[in-house]
Amino acid sequence: LPIYVSLDSADVWSERREFLLDKAGRPSRVAGVPPDYFSEEGQLWGNPLYDWAAQKRDGFGWWIRRVEGASRLFDAIRIDHFRAFERYWSIPAGAETAKEGQWEPGPGMDLLRVLTGWFPHITYIAEDLGLLTPEVHQLREAAGLPGMKVLEFAFSGPGNDYLPHNYGSRRCVCYTGTHDNDTALGWYDHAGEAERDFAERYLGASGRENVRRALLRCGMGSTAELFVAQMQDYLALGSEGRINVPGVAAGNWRWRMAPGAAAAGLAAEIRALAEVYGR
């Protein structure tokens, strides 16, 4: 469930009162994130921001309608950019980079209480990635949502929270990588020497293909209540199979699985691995 919608979307056109827009329908401030792991300039997304005060006054009806629509299609919903529910990055419209933004308070439990109360049958996952603060973790715990553990972010050292031995609780979801990450092989190919060395020592494997397989086994064998891997990682694809490069506007979201790629042998391999770890 993407945190924001596009300026030219049907939602913004038909329900302008839900967003921070002027009388001409132009946003005064737009969405993005400050400089982080993915981009030194930050990410200037340009989406219009929500008028949280107005949405709270009407009981967050727009969000209820949005999640109701998603619930017809999915049993589980990953709430994108969860940290924005605690505090979000607000950038002046017309700014050249996201560096010009500032933090603003999000809706917090006022909204999350509504969503979990209206739709108790839905499994929510909090995408609690990025520049996190104790307040973000406290909000996720208050809402009772599992967070994310991304293995491709894990291999900086033994104290990294994304390493399976540091999970501490099953109340999390382990991923090889998200839609913003490279594939497992692409990550290995572009990793720094220290990161790659530690990954090989942690996984007990060396070489790109062996590490790919070990990464999948590592996630399957973790204590996380759910393990998610990109199909590209099971298919042993390199960076040509990457879905999205954050901060790059063109050329993304084009990967499609080729006909016949999901062969019976691969299905048997995945099933065998899942059975070993009780998945």
- Selected catalytic residue, list 127, 128, 182, 195: 127
- Backbone φ and ψ of 241, nearest 5°: -100, 5
Active site residue 189: no
Residue 25, number of CB atoms within 10 A of its CB? 12
Q: Where are the beta strands (DSSP E) in 140-218?
A: 147-150, 172-175
Active site residue 182: no
- Selected catalytic residue, list 86, 128, 180, 195: 180
3-state secondary structure 243-275: CCCCCCCCCCCCCCCCCCCCCHHHHHHHHHHHH
State both tokens at 169.
Answer: 């609780």
Give the SS3 label for residue 37: coil
Q: Which residues contact 105 (CB under 8 A, 6 or more apart)?
A: 86, 87
Active site residue 127: yes
- Selected catalytic residue, list 15, 41, 51, 80: 80
Residues with catalytic function = 80, 127, 180
